[in-house]
Structure 1
Amino acid sequence: MEGINLSLKDLLSPPPVMPWREFADWIRMSEEHNIVWGWIRNGYIPSHKVGKHVMVNVALLTSQLLEEEWTP
């Protein structure tokens, strides 16, 4: 991907929140921003509006995904 320089540190310790478009790029959906926006709009990805910006709650999403993996 052009323009996205991710280090190992970025992958191992993501920020607790990030702008939704940056999140879409981070999960390699830069060509599919509309899909990511739909996930946010439908409540599949936890988010919070801060002023005019929609931020993805990466910490909560990670926690939810890890919890689902361990639920029998």
Structure 2
Amino acid sequence: MNGEGINLTLKDLLTPPPVMPWREFANWIRMNNDHDIVWGWIRNGYIPSHKVGKHVMVNVALLTQHLMEKEFPG
């Protein structure tokens, strides 16, 4: 699969990494031209993240868990 210069395989979509750099995450969710919007979501706490050194990493595993809980309330 190829979307705007990003090569994704089915494995990439089914097993995302637990964390990834925020810009890479923005590209992964197809917000390539809207990095400012994704940064705003992170800054406002809508997307779980953690700073590692000078890098801001999105916690994809926690975001997935939160989204699944909203989809299937327990």
TM-score normalised to the size of structure 1? 0.96
C-alpha distance in structure 2 between counterparts of 1:66 and 1:31, whole Å: 27
Aligned to 1:52: 54
Any unmatched runs of 5+ in structure 1?
none
Task: For 2:66, give the aligned amino acid.
Answer: Q
C-alpha distance in structure 1 between counterparts of 2:73 and 2:11, whole Å: 28
Give the aligned length: 72
Any unmatched runs of 5+ in structure 2?
none
1:7 Cα deviation after fit:
0.2
**Superposed CA RMSD:** 1.0
C-alpha distance in structure 2 between counterparts of 1:35 and 1:2, whole Å: 18
C-alpha distance in structure 2 between counterparts of 1:12 and 1:61, whole Å: 15
> Which residues of 2 match residues 3-42 of structure 1 at below 5 A?
3-42=5-44
1:70 Cα deviation after fit:
1.1
Task: For 2:10, give the aligned amino acid.
Answer: L
Aligned to 1:63: 65
TM-score normalised to the size of structure 2? 0.93
Task: For 1:35, give the aligned amino acid.
Answer: I
Give the helix-richer structure, 1 or 2: 1
